[in-house]
Structure formats: structure tokens, C-alpha cells
Chains A and B, each alone.
Chain A
Amino acid sequence: MFDVEKIAKLARLKIDGDEVKTILPQLEEIIRYVEALNQIDTAEIDGYTRKPAPSGRISGIYAIPGRYTRKSTPSRRISGIYAIPGRYTRKSSPSGGVGASHADTVLRADEPLPPTDPQERLRLAPSQKEGMFFVPKVIGDGED
């Protein structure tokens, strides 16, 4: 079931033969262990991955019950390219703005902040030329 070489390829990870011999039984043991979850009935449960918030509240694993409401006329609007106007407001929030739950994208206003110095960043690169990151050939005879 667990094709280490295929998965390693997907993960862009070189694993040599000896490593495969050690790692494969370990991974199989871990997978058998996590399969204990199959005994739990989750047919009616929302996993909260990439799902839009249902109307009326923000969902997501960290949402605080009763804290968020949806109104057609928000007291504070989140701007930014992905924000849905009028979607999120926060009940009795002293500071305005919205809280966070990882399953819901909550964005700040799209205002530029001072950037870090590009030269300083470039100096960290293993290889650079003429103000750019230098990399081996990307297009051509690569495997994929």
C-alpha cells in the first residue's frame, strides 16, 4: 500500500535503499496505528476543510460559540481582494476587526507594509547573480 518511492518523489525527497528498509516498516506501523480512527463513526461530522462558513456564523475548529454573527450591514468591513463584503462582523468587539479560526480566512486590510531589504534577503541565497536567485535549468530534460 505504502509506495515509499512514489511518495518520496511527490515530496521531492531523496531516500536511499538503506533508508527505505528502515523507514518503510516504521511508516507501516504508524499507519496501522492511526487507522484506529476508522472505528469512529464520523458520517455526520463536518471536517472543516475548505468549506465556506455556513450562514449565520463563522465555523472552524477555533470559532468561539456565540461570538460571531453575520449581518447584512457590517459595523466594520474587511477589505482586501478575498474579503466578502458584509460577511464578518464581531459582536460587541471593543477593538473592531475579527478574530481568527484557521479554517476561515480572515484578512487584514490590504495595505503595504515596509518591505525588508531585497539585497539582505538575496545575500542568504546559496547562489545569486546580478540581483537574482541563481538556479539550475528548470525547463527541458527534467523528468517532470
Chain B
Amino acid sequence: MKNLCHLTAYEIREGYKNRAFSVTDIAKAVVAQVEKLSPKIKAFLYFDADEILNRARDLESQAQRFEHNPMFGIPIAVKDNISIRGIPTTCGSRILEGYKPVYDASVISSLKNQGALIIGKTNMDEFAMGSSTENSAFGPTLNPWDLERVPGGSSGGSAAAVASRMVPTALGSDTGGSIRQPAAFTGILGLKCTYGLVSRYGLIAYASSLDQIGPMGRSVEDLAMCLEAISFREKRDSTSLDDPLGTKYLDNFKTNVKGLKIGVPKEFFNEGINPDMRESVYQVLKDLEALGAIVEEFSLRYISCSLPSYYIIAPAEASSNLARYDAIRYGLRVPGENIIQQYENTRGAGFGAEVKRRILLGTFVLSAGYYDAYYLKAMKVRRLIKNELTEAFRKYDFLVTPTTPTTAFKIGEKTQNPLEMYLSDICTIGVNLAGIPAISIPCGKIDDLPAGVQFMGPQFSERRLLSLSKAYLDATGHHQIIPSLLKEN
């Protein structure tokens, strides 16, 4: 039989149905794989083997209650900005030292109710600010495809855990590409949903109008299973929405691509994109054409303003959200002579360099005299970007672009120049500003490193994005790529 670690969530589910193995068998396989590879990859910030094995036994004893839930007994790793009651949650920051949430995030309550097997907390850039996990206060995660390279970020720990077959699925969060970019860098799939489809209740806030939790995995079915479990309207989250098309995502794929209209925005294929990456995505377009899609190039006028708008709006929201770290109710405290000094000392010592940059930037763009020129301007441009994409979806069913300008870069390559790091998210950010869904899926390899293609769709097009991905991956098999590190074993 296949090594249990290599099974997808969907295959594990089938295995349970056929009584091929137990939840404990799967839990043991997860623990063994994490213990074997963690010293190399450093994907987890919190991992407790006994807790996982105990939970597996509990689930087995209650199997009848859970077994009709798709996520029953499915291992899922959780990014460390998603609250789990009683489990240390650091957000990759020193400032949350000793913090253990007193409640579960909505997505966690739901996964627990479904009988999922939650596997630890994964590493991330501090407060999800970064594109490489190098901004984690606890050191970087390494890419299983090449241990000298980054796994992307900010959900780099989740991506590396899935790619190295420690877990079949993981939760990430995506504010400007933080699910899709690491998925592309590690050869897996990652879905950023329509804003509001997955509740942010219990997600530690970075930029609230952009943040979305989403699933990461190695098959379309796995993303669909996970999405079914985590998407629902949460009354404690005023931005949470019902999917008007229903709550089912699995087993409903319409994989006939014939006649679908695919728009290819030229701006995503300019000189900023590595030529090999362009070629990879052109090949995807040829493959989709061969399946019957109609592919057409067109131009987006405002999309190139996405990155500058984002680096006004996201820091502005961050500076406000991160004001809560005041050394009073939880986390780190560095004393001072009075409370103002205590705030300053704690925040000065507790936040890393990138978080400080963004807090300063955000405070600046919101400050008296600059608000209209920067923040309001960026919000107006955001509206133009949103309108332009809405317009594009009147003409096209999907837009197809690269997920990233290059494959995974080397550790340390971009840490000296923040702006250069920001540019690695240039293909993904417009989606967050517009609140639309997008998926990144593997589209082959360049010099033995995975490349990712991004499909964007209009609001609530998750089912169609999953279906198109399935059609493409069924035809090409690109989701089956495995890092050579794992083949050696």
C-alpha cells in the first residue's frame, strides 16, 4: 500500500469508508513524517504528538457521530494566526509570548465539530507580513524542494507541511497572496476565497478588509472538502457571507472546459515576469485551448496600481489593528517609567523590523495632512481596480496569470530590500483588493522548482475555479509532482 503520508485527504476519506486503516494509523503516519522532516523543514511552531494521538483515539471512539462528515479524521495543519483555544498562538511574533486564546476561531470550531484531526500550528511571517517566512520571529521555514530556498509566505509553514507530505491539508490566510504564493513555491494548491466566504472570527487581524482564511492541499477534492467545512455565515463576524450558490463544493465538478472564455491580461506577462515563468503559463493556456477553452489576450488599465494601493491600505489597517498590543491584557510586557513608555518599550522590543515598517507606514498615511493624499487616494484606486475586474468578468469566465513572477528565491535574497520582497506578490494582490476568489495550482517545474498558475474568477465562483483546476490537473497531472527530498526516503 501507498505510504499513508502520501495520501490526499480525499483518499484518506475513501480509506476510512473501506476500513483500510484507522484514524490512529493516519495520526501515527503524520507524527512519524513530522518528526522525520521537521528538523530540516521547520514547518511547525507548535506540535504535540501525544495530543494528536489522543485526539485520534477519541475520534475513533466517536466514529459513528462523525463519520458522515467529509473532514472526519482528516489531518489539517493550522497557520499560527488562527486561534485555537488553549494552544499557544504567536502569529510568528515575540509580542504574543505566552498567549493562549480563550476561544476557538469559527473555522476551528467547525473543524472540531466535523471531527477533523488538527495538527499543530504552522510557521508564518510575523503577523502575516511577508512573502518568505523569513519575518517569523522564530526563524524561517525551508522549502522542501530546495532547503536553501524559501517556501514563500506568509503561509509558508502550512505550504511546506503540505508539500513535504506531513499533512494532506492545511489552513492558510491570504491578505495579498499569502496562500497562493507559497502554494506556487512549493508545488501545491491554494485557494483564496471570495471576501467574506470564510469567517475571520478568531483570525488575528492584519488588514481586515483584505484578510481571508483558505485551504491548501494537493488535490482539488481536498480543497473542496476543506472549504465545505470552513465556509458558513458567522453571526459574530459582520463581514461574513453565505454563498448564494449553496454550501456544497465537493463532488459537483463540471470539468467540461469547452467554450469557456479565458481572459489573459497582458500586464501579467511583462518584463517583470521571468521568461521561463511566462512560458510555463503560455503552456497552460495552450493546454486549456486543447481542452476547448477560448483564450483571448486583453489589457487591464489599473491593475498595475494594485501593489502601490496595497502598500497604503494594508499598512493603514495594520497600524490600527496592531494598536491592541499594549502589554496590558496578554503577551509581552517590557516595563517603563509610565504607561506610555511601557507601550513604546514593549512594542519596540516585541515587533520585528517588517512589522515596524508597516506600522510606521500605516500611521503616516493616516496622519493629519496625509490621509487624503495617500489613504483616500489608494481607496479610490482600489475602487477602479475592482470595477475594472468586474467589467472583465462580464466578458470572460476566468482570468489566467502566473501566481508569482519567479520560482522560489533563496533564503536571504530579498531580506535587505523590502520593496523587492513586496514585488514577489505583484500577481496576487489585485484579487484581494477586489474581494474576488483565485486559486493557485501547480503548472510544472522550472529547473526542478515548482511553478504555479493563478485562475481568477468573479465573486462566488469557487465551484467553477475548482472545476477548471480539476479539468486542467486531470489532463496534465501536474499536482502529482514530489520534491526529490521525499523520493530519497
Hey, what's the 0/1 contact readout for A24-61 against B, CB within 8 Å counting as 1? 00110111011111101010011111000000000001
B contact face: mostly helix, strand, loop, or mixed: helix
| Contact of A133 with B361 in the complex, beta carbons under 8 Å | no
Chain B: which residue is nearest A125 at the CB level? B329
The docked-state distance in angstroms from the alpha carbon of A123 to that of B242 is: 36
- CA A12 to CA B322, docked complex, whole Å: 11
**Chain A interface mostly:** loop
The answer, among B236, B305, B356, B378, for a CB contact under 8 Å with A15, is B356
In the assembled complex, A142 has its CB within 8 A of some CB on chain B: yes
Contacts of B364 in A (CB 8 A): 2, 7, 27, 31
Indicate if B467 sits at the interface (CB-CB under 8 A).
no
- For B, the interface residue count at a CB cutoff of 8 angstroms equals 77
| Complexed CA–CA distance, A33 and B379 (Å) | 16
Q: Which of A12, A48, A101, A133 contacts B344 (CB 8 A)?
A: A12
Q: Is there contact, CB below 8 Å, between B342 and A136?
A: yes
Q: How far is the CA of A116 from the CA of B348 in the complex (A)?
A: 30
Answer whether residue A76 sits at the interface, using C-beta atoms and an 8 A cutoff: no
Q: Is A117 an interface residue (CB 8 A)?
A: yes
Whether B69 is near chain A, meaning CB under 8 Å from some CB there, is: no
State whether B376 touches A49 (Cβ < 8 A): yes
Closest Cβ of chain B to A6, distance in Å, is: 8
Once the chains are docked, how many angstroms separate the CA of A27 from the CA of B362? 11
- The docked-state distance in angstroms from the alpha carbon of A62 to that of B436 is 9
Q: Is A120 part of the contact surface with B, judged by Cβ < 8 Å?
A: yes
Q: Is A10 an interface residue (CB 8 A)?
A: yes
Report the Cα distance A2→B260, complex, angstroms: 50
List the interface of chain A (C-beta within 8 A of B).
2, 4, 7-8, 10-16, 19, 22-23, 26-27, 29-31, 33-38, 40, 42, 45-49, 61-62, 64-65, 95, 97, 99-102, 105-108, 113, 116-117, 120-121, 124-127, 133, 135-138, 140-144
> Which 8 A-B pairs rank lowest in CB-CB distance, beginning with the nearest?
A14-B348, A126-B333, A47-B379, A42-B380, A124-B330, A14-B344, A12-B343, A45-B380
Binding site for A on B (CB under 8 A): 98-100, 102-103, 195-196, 208-209, 233, 235-242, 302, 305, 307-309, 311-312, 319, 323, 327-333, 335-340, 342-345, 347-349, 351, 353, 356-357, 359-361, 363-364, 367, 374-384, 386, 390, 417-419, 422, 434-435, 459
24 CB contacts below 8 A, A to B, read A11-B359, A11-B363, A13-B351, A14-B344, A14-B348, A26-B417, A30-B357, A30-B419, A37-B305, A37-B381, A40-B302, A40-B305, A40-B384, A48-B383, A62-B195, A62-B459, A100-B196, A100-B238, A102-B209, A126-B328, A126-B330, A133-B328, A135-B328, A135-B342
